Chains A and B, each alone.
Chain A
Amino acid sequence: MKLLSYFRGEAFQRGVHPPGCKHTADTPIRRLPFAPRLVVPLSQHIGKPSRPIVRVGEEVLRGQPIAEADGWLSVPQHAPATGVVEAIELRPSARGPWTECIVIRVYEASTQEVLWGTPQDLDAFPPQDIVLAVQRTGMVGLGGAAFPSHAKLTVPEGARVETLVVNGCECEPYLTCDHRLMVEHANDLMTGIRHAMRATGARRAIIGVEDNKPAAAEAMRRALPPGSEIFVEEVPTKYPQGSEKMLITALFGVEVPSGKLPLSLGMVVNNVGTLAALGRLLPAGQGLIERVVTVTGPGVARPGDYRVPLGTPISFVLDYAGAPAQARQVILGGPMMGQSVASLDVPVTKGVSGVLVFRGEDMAGREGRRSYPCIKCGECVESCPMGLNPSMLGMLAARREYDAMGEQYHLGDCFECGCCTYTCPSNIPLVQQFRVAKQILREKAAA
């Protein structure tokens, strides 16, 4: 790949270098026990919520479908454990509003074997059937966006996919779940890549890994099938490289046009976690019932990467990993883009890549820090990877001029990486204002 090494010097323009804090990079993935009750939200993905196909009081087997996809942009849900459906009711979600969930009481005496699923020979499938098989697994982007994977692997009429880009950057501080998957499950990953390449018709696949994970790159190079068109490329470490547009710039030196998808350049980007899970589930014909979650932060006694059944309440995860009672802030996802949660009753869903816990003393300097007026230093402008003007956007947000933000200052290109807020010396919550503005613009567009 001489062609690519030409661009090695500079990954992509701007961005930031937050401290890595990847303390759990060398700890093998461990399995979390089953919580007494698992709460499976019907809406764990972008798109329409699934439709339940079980009734209250029904017994379910681990891996059995309990909700079906409602339309194309939707995925089924599978029972994460053998047990009985205790309720189908509203429960708190990490985003705030209560959503419809299926509550399963886990049978303690069960062996919890996955008895559901018929092995299938995917090599005999035509590409569109592979896409349907992906939808049957209930797979969504496990990097955090939770966009249904089958929709991403569908190539629209008239488009052509040359390259499958596999995103193994994991640029968020603290998170190591993708790193461990690359080290421990490189073979599953290769199977997943092979099927994804067939589904999209891509000729080659390029795995992008940040150069702070040499072990992962090494493990994947060893697992490369001989004679395949799969390549492992190391890119200089920088945040937010895990964004698909940034990774494409880092690998190929080209920019995805504003408002377009990587598909316009003949590329499809998928996360390593997603493809590794697909590599395991697709041949077995099973559904997504667990995921690897990094549980870490200064407030965790036994940090590590845990294989967590979907629907496990955060409080159970924290009890097991040893979070003290004085835990002050709990974040789902990474520290840059993750979401603070208000309630520990919310479950681990398909899009949760990490649980970070900070104690009161870690937050001491930050809580109650007020924000000051913008001093127009330009730090945010120099850090925005999309080349936007966060300072101007912030001032418009304060004046509630949302239309101008969208039309003149390209708010739609902001993917909320948080670089602007990270660098702002005046402590202005820029990215939070943008989230609000984007939400309001979405509401206006829908009305």
Chain B
Amino acid sequence: MTNLAYAGAFMALLGVALAGVIAFANRRLYVYEDPRIDQVEELLPKSNCGACGTAGCRNFAEKVVAGEILPAQCTVNAPAQNTVIADLLGVDAGSVEKRVARLACAGGRHVAYLRARYAGHTSCRAAAVVSGGGKDCAWGCLGLADCAEVCDFDAIHMDTHGLPVVDADKCTACNDCVEVCPKGLFSLEPVSRKLWVACKNLADGDTAEASCEVACTACGKCVVDSAPGVMKLENNLAVIDYAQNARAAKQAIERCPTGAIVWFDNPNFSIKGAESKKILRQNELPLISA
């Protein structure tokens, strides 16, 4: 019986002693952390997408509390939610122009020719290492949906012609699709940039049009029709100087013969010029025979 009492007393003493060590350590090794960091993190989407440029939502919360970054830098949150964060911290929410991912290609299966049919691992990256993927236009979209797969926000869907369509409302400009595309066709563009060249083909006009009906043929009509300095031709391709974006006008697209130059009336919908050729075909084009 006494053995039991000794053992019990010993264990109790040991417990008290260890508790003392823990209490001591808690005091001495305590690191003060601003409780607002946790509160801010709670208000963030926790998608850790990296669109804001930080390592993740926790890191973003730390920087917001430290005042290094404004709440509006988080493009995933709704603006109202960012205002809540700003009010909590008593800072200005700031404003960031919304950016969306945009594809510089319009060559779906109904307008762009294939030279060879790719059979193998269904991924744009994998197809691109096999002689470029078989599309006649070496710069064009392969349509195997790497971007749609990598998008965490369900903002990219493939249309019936095998081209990715970006839902601007869901797109958070996280850069994942930009990184995954083997042809480098995606870029993040502020929504105020309405004029857009939906082509990257660097071949000469005839060759480009022979491989894709909606390719930029570098005819130069858009350059003539827009204000001086807004557009120019570079390596057989029309290029927009977005430093002059304020002067860009819808007129630039009107005479584009192929419809490669488009105007984004709203971020989700682009229109072609009146003189661009009408594409009625819905079916896939046949292979180009050698």
Contact = CB atoms under 8 A, between A and B. Distances in A.
Contact of B128 (A96, A315, A340, A343): A96
A340 B121 contact: no
A343 B130 contact: no
Given A92-B138, A97-B138, A440-B125, A339 B130 contact: yes
A349 B135 CA distance: 22
Nearest to A343: B115
B126 A436 contact: yes
Interface string B97-132: 000000000000000000110111101011011111
Interface in A295-337: 315, 325
B125 A90 contact: no
Contact of B131 (A89, A343, A368, A371): A343
A64 to B, nearest CB: 28
Contacts of A433: 121, 126
Interface residues of B, number: 24
Contact of A96 (B119, B133, B289): B133
B203 A432 contact: no
A175 B32 CA distance: 70
Q: How large is the interface on A (under 10, 10 to 19, 20 to 34, 35 or more residues)?
A: 20 to 34
Nearest to A327: B290
Contacts of B120: 429, 432
B119 A367 contact: yes
Contacts of B203: 90, 98
Contact of B130 (A89, A367, A432): A432
A439 B131 contact: no
B115 A342 contact: yes
A367 B289 CA distance: 19
B202 interface: yes
Nearest to A370: B122
B132 A97 contact: yes
A436 B125 contact: yes
Contacts of B289: 325
B134 interface: yes
A345 B202 CA distance: 17
Contacts of B138: 92, 96-98
A89 B204 CA distance: 10
Interface centre among A98, A325, A440 (most CB of B within 10 A): A98
A94 interface: yes
A55 interface: no
Contacts of A367: 119
A95 B131 contact: yes
Given A90-B203, A96-B132, A98-B203, A432 B115 contact: no
B133 A342 contact: yes
Nearest to A444: B179
A388 interface: no
A35 to B, nearest CB: 15
Contacts of B129: 96, 432, 435-436, 439
A339 B131 contact: yes
A32 interface: no
Interface string A93-116: 011111000000000000000000
Nearest to B120: A429
A342 B132 contact: yes
Nearest to A438: B129
A341 interface: yes
Interface of A: 89-90, 92, 94-98, 315, 325, 339-345, 367-368, 371, 429, 432-433, 435-436, 439-440
The 5 lowest CB-CB distance pairs between A and B, nearest first, are A96-B132, A342-B116, A342-B131, A429-B121, A344-B290
Given A92-B132, A94-B131, A342-B115, 20 more contacts: A92-B138, A96-B128, A96-B133, A98-B138, A98-B203, A339-B130, A339-B131, A342-B130, A342-B131, A342-B133, A342-B135, A343-B115, A343-B116, A343-B131, A343-B136, A344-B290, A368-B119, A371-B121, A429-B126, A436-B129
